[in-house]
């Protein structure tokens, strides 16, 4: 998922993520984020994602898991 820079700050990314999580209720959505992208990590944490396991396959991405309310 990616939002063009000129379209950021309008809630589009949040809306896409929330809708995707709503579509797959009953599943536990997850994503991988480069931990050096601290702004992006914080963004996903603010959307309800929590830190999960370190992915040993690619050795540089952290897995996050969405905890649905």
| pLDDT tens digits along 30-39 | 788 888 889 9
For 22, the enclosing helix (H) or strand (E) is helix 12-23
Q: 13 has which bridge partners? A: none
pLDDT for 50: 83
Residue 68 confidence (pLDDT): 55
Low-confidence ranges of the chain (pLDDT < 50): none
Q: Which two tokens stand for residue 26?
A: 């009953």
Give the pTM.
Answer: 0.73
Q: What is the torsional sign of CA 24, 28, 34, 37?
A: positive
pLDDT at 49: 86
Q: Which residue has the tokens 């536990």?
A: 28
């Amino acid at each position: 998922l990616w939002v063009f820079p000129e379209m950021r700050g309008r809630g589009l990314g949040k809306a896409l993520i929330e809708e995707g999580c709503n579509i797959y209720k009953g599943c536990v959505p997850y994503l991988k984020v480069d931990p050096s992208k601290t702004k992006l990590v914080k963004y996903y944490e603010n959307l309800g994602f929590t830190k999960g396991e370190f992915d040993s396959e690619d050795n540089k991405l952290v897995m996050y898991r969405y905890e649905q309310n």
